[in-house]
Amino acid sequence: MECAVIKTGGKQYVVSKGDILSVEKFSDEKKAGDKVVFEEVLLVDNGSDTTIGTPTIKGAKVEGTVMETGRAKKIDVVKYKAKSRYLKRRGHRQPYVAVRIDSIS
């Protein structure tokens, strides 16, 4: 089973063909069905040999398809100071893009 480590959105992900992963929203707008190419491939393992980049592998790429774009569940951001009647509440929903990995090369 072939797998790779890619870098996108300041994070690293271990992916293999058919995986669906949730990554940070891209700078350009992508819709469901659009193709995505990840150029920053740090490691590729095809079962028999492993290629490690320094820091990336030249010519390697991981291709995927955008499944959906959306926003994650709301988290509460609370600022509180005891004994001073200070309380602020704010919600945040992080945008994400769900991508299905089609091929590793």
pLDDT tens digits in sequence order for the chain, 105 residues long: 899 999 999 999 999 999 999 999 998 889 999 999 999 999 999 989 999 999 999 999 999 999 999 999 999 999 999 999 999 999 999 999 999 999 999
Q: For position 72, what pLDDT does the model report?
A: 96
Q: Which amino acid is at 68?
A: E
| pLDDT of res. 47 | 87
The token duo for 76 is: 């509460």
The pTM for the full model equals 0.86
Nearest-Å Rg of the Cα atoms of the chain is: 18
Q: What is the dihedral of CA 22, 23, 27, 31, to 10 degrees?
A: -20
Residue 55 preceded by cis peptide, ω within 30: yes
- Sorted by where each begins, the domain ranges of the chain are 3-104
For residue 1, the model assigns a pLDDT of: 82
